[in-house]
Amino acid sequence: MSRSQLFASLFLIGIIGTSAVTSAQSIDDDILIDDYWRKSYAGNAEAQRLLAVLLSYEYAEDGDIDDDEHFTITRLLECAALQGDQPAIDQLQNINANFDISETGECYYTGAGYTADDPKPADPASGTFDEDALRARAMNGDPAAQFALAEYLEGQFLFFDAFEEAEGWYNCAAKQGYAPAIEAMTGDSGITTYPASEPCPFTNRTMDANGKITERFTSFRLVEIEPAPAPEPVPKPAPEPTATAPATDTEQLFADALAAYYGDGMPQDFTRAMELARKAADHNHAGAINLIGVMYLNGSGVAPDATEAAYHYRRAADLGDVSAMVNLADCYLHGIGVDVSLPRAREWYEKAASDGDAYAQYNLSAIYKSGAEGIEPDPVLARKWMKLAAENGDPDAPYHYGHFLEYGIGGPEDPAGAIAWYQKAVELDDTNGFAAMGRMHYYGEYTTEDLELAWYYLSIAAARDHVEAKTWIEVAAPSVTYEQRARASAQVTRYLAETGAQ
């Protein structure tokens, strides 16, 4: 068969085939073909079809494709077609050959007679490869699956622009301490190691050796999925309600309950606080009902009872108490007195966030950034809510909003704008803010290059065990003079003493 004849038939395989050949012009064909043979023998239908395309170009270099070469190409398409690969099925109808699928009923190279309707194992080495199943395991935090998916994608990158995704999955597995991933990223692998503070870009779940899953809102709060964690103490006490207008004596009852609870102007007395709060709650005072929930959660004056706490939070939230909305959302987030439900947590955080609660805005941003339980990640909304949280005074939000700006998450990149928020984080004594400002002043791209100031910021963060700050200090050390270090270190000592740091 001539080159033009076979090309005419194989061209209809589609755009994938064309892009494969275009990419192959700039790489080592032998390495690429070996890789696709490996995947073909493992039963990867897509690899079998693409290998047929690639071989057709290589075989035709001498101007003609002989019968043996024609046999190889057609059998590869047959293997892919047997698995239900539609482009390969279509293509076999266009190839003039003395054999077809019905002649053997099984793949010439693997001996498998499976079709696309048969169950496919998730392990590429086990015969056929179910990428969807492997992705599901990887998204659930399984480091072995993340590594296997990275290996698979790395082999596909020339055709599908998947190397960046593969790199991300390698980092996800390595961040969990998975040794094969760590080894694969060393030496001249060409795989970029993400900073320690940079989370897995695809999933907020990790899995330990016992299969226990932990879900992390990226760089934010930590949530145990299996099993649910113990209740976390001391939610915020509620402000006075806005949705109800209790009588003056009821308002005074609530004020007295708060005074007894906090020991404000009188000895702290939880029993008295509960008694007064119950009297105000009898008149549907939302703040008092929320306070009862707080006391049940903390066991203040009563036996701890998470179910009672969640009940009172819900009752107060329905009456419009913003703090109760936040507390109820926390219950759904952590499984305190109710079943864990991220959608319900989002619902109540969103209600509180819309009323201006900075803590709720922060957590809502975290949920939208990570996504889980059917909630799709939405970086635009994540950025919106983190900005509001930062503007409304959440102490952790300025650094994270600066991160959104610096890296263009959910909107345009604005590294210069990020600096103002990193500086705000420094003013709030946020260790992440010190690390970020140290990095910014070291590189000097969007603010002044100031090695002494960089050393000062990084030293404070490093003294608080910020891992990246310790790394950046090592990077900066050769450039910082002894005099600069001495002056900065003196300021660091004073600052840490003033803030009570060790």
Confidence of residue 112 (pLDDT cuts 50, 70, 90): low
352 CA to centre of own chain = 24
CB within 8 Å of 239: residues ≥ 6 apart = 287, 321, 322, 323
Q: Which amino acid is at 168?
A: G
Higher-pLDDT residue of 476, 17: 476
Average pLDDT on 207-212 reads: 77
pLDDT for residue 296? 94
Map 407-465 to HEC letters: HCCCCCCCHHHHHHHHHHHHHCCCHHHHHHHHHHHHHCCCCCCCHHHHHHHHHHHHHCC
pLDDT for residue 39? 77
Q: Alpha-carbon dihedral of residues 164, 170, 176, 182, nearest 10 degrees?
A: -130
**Residue 157: both structure tokens together:** 């990158």
Give the range among 177-186, 267-276, 281-290 with minimum mean pLDDT.
177-186
For the chain, the average pLDDT equals 77
pLDDT for residue 425? 93
Confidence of residue 352 (pLDDT cuts 50, 70, 90): very high
Q: List pLDDT tens digits, range 182-206.
A: 888 887 667 777 766 566 777 767 8
Q: List pLDDT tens digits, range 470-480.
A: 888 888 888 99
pLDDT for residue 125? 44
Q: What is d(CA 22, CA 109) in angstroms, rounded to the nearest whole number?
A: 27
| pLDDT beyond 80 at 227 | no
pLDDT for residue 429? 93
* Max CA pair span of the chain: 99
Average pLDDT on 289-295 reads: 95
Question: Whose structure tokens read 């509180």?
Answer: 352
pLDDT for residue 179? 86
pLDDT for residue 256? 93
CB within 8 Å of 48: residues ≥ 6 apart = 39, 40, 76, 77, 79, 80, 85, 88, 107, 109
Average pLDDT on 444-461 reads: 90
Pick from 436, 375, 382: nearest CA to 409: 382
pLDDT for residue 487? 93
Give the range among 461-470, 475-484, 492-501 with minimum mean pLDDT.
492-501
11 Rama class: left (phi>0) / alpha (psi -120 to 50) / beta:
alpha
Average pLDDT on 435-450 reads: 89
